[in-house]
Structure formats: C-alpha cells, structure tokens
Structure 1
Amino acid sequence: MFLESEIQIEESEPELEPSPIPSARKRPKKRKHVFSDEDDGHAELSRTQVPPPRWVLDLENRRGADERERLELEKRRVALEERRLALEERRLEQNQKFEERRLALEERRFEDEQRWRHDILDTLKGIAETLF
C-alpha cells in the first residue's frame, strides 16, 4: 500500500519545465570600486566596497612613478634646450663682435691704403714739379 500511494503521488505531480541552458542565464555584473577624489582611496571600506587587488595598486604606483620620471626628464630636456639656446645666443653675439672687429680692421686697412696711395701720388707730383 505504501508503495502504491507514492506511485500515485509521483504520477499526479506535474512535469517540471526544463531549466534554461546555462549559457543563456544572465551573468552577474562584476563590481568595480572607484575611489573618488575626496576619499583618495583611504576611506574606510564598507561591506559593498572591495579594495583593489595588490597588483592593481602596484601597477598604479608604477604608473605614477613613470609619470614622475617622464616629467623629470621633460624638465631636464627643457633645461638643456634653454642652455643650448643661451649658448647659441652667446655664439651669435661673439660672431657679431668678431664680424664688427673684422669690418673695422678692413676699414682701417682701406684707409691706410688710401693714405698710402695719396702719399705716393703727392710724392710723384712733387717729383714731377721739380723736374719740370
């Protein structure tokens, strides 16, 4: 009897619908924790907040170090460029002074040559006057 009642109960139960395909089920969303500028990552975490993994912090620290290093190299590059420009300006000033001195020397040579020619002509005139 006992068996008959169980069989009757099993027969009277409606058939259950098959469960959906596992891949068709919605996957739960992954939680992401975003630190705001206000808490700067040091705020007390609530139960819903999960601290970032250590490797994420290491990567972020490395990125910050790389950025600081890049800024330092950029500062050095700018300083070197400023020094190069200052040297170029000094070189141009020295070249300008050199050119001015060279021009002055050429002017003196020209004036000396003119005087010399004038002196020779005066001497030749003097000789010509004494001969005639």
Structure 2
Amino acid sequence: MSAAAIGDEPWLDDAAGRLVRPFTVSNGRTRPSIALDLMSQVMATGVTPLGCLGPEHGQALDLCSGPVPVAEVAAHLKLPAAVTKVLLSDLVDCGALTTKPPAYHQHPTDRALLEAVLDGLRRQL
C-alpha cells in the first residue's frame, strides 16, 4: 500500500483512495447553514465565490451548471450527504448557488417515486 502527497494534491492511497477524512473538507462542521434535503435542487447562479473555499467547493459548483439534486452532488463528490450539504450551503451563502425545495409531484414516500429512484440508482451501478 503506497501513500503519496505531492504539492497541493490530496493524500491518496492506491487501495483506499482519499486519506483525508470527509469532515476535514467541511472544517469539522456537520450542519449546513440552510435546510437542504437529499432531493433539494441546487443550481449555479454564475456568481464567482470570493474567499477561501476548498477544491471540493469548486467541484460541487462545477456539477451544478443545471438543476441537480443534493444526493447526486454527494454521489459525484464521493462524500457523505452531511458533508455535501455543508459545502453546498457555503456556496448558497456566498451567492454562487441557488436552491429550491424538491418538486414533489405526489407524496414524497409515494411507492412509484421511490421505485423510480431505485431504478435510477441501479442503472448508475
């Protein structure tokens, strides 16, 4: 098992992947500043965030060129949903993202909706 850190690149392990703990990405914060649920839609506003945001913030912003659910952003970043929500709330706070609640056409625990989500996840695997 070889670990490597070159310059500003993250610590990587060939077998384990990223060696940086996920909550390091959110500076130890576990709660977002705004209410987001996994199906909330986020989208870039075109505003460039100012300040010290990490590389994961930039990756999240790149994923949000169109409306995308929080769960999908978390999956692409390979981060826990709680950490992703913190990153996304940072971007909303600085005006780089906008958010809207999920568009429930029916009850959120509707069986047809849940089966559609499950089918979509199976296609991704």
Band of TM-score, shorter chain: under 0.3
Normalising by the residue count of structure 2, what TM-score does the alignment of the two structures yield?
Answer: 0.19
- Report the structure, 1 or 2, having the larger helix content: 1
**Could you say which structure has the larger radius of gyration?**
1
- Which structure is higher in RCO with an 8 Å CA cutoff and minimum separation 6? 2
Normalising by the residue count of structure 1, what TM-score does the alignment of the two structures yield?
Answer: 0.18
- Report the structure, 1 or 2, having the larger strand content: 2
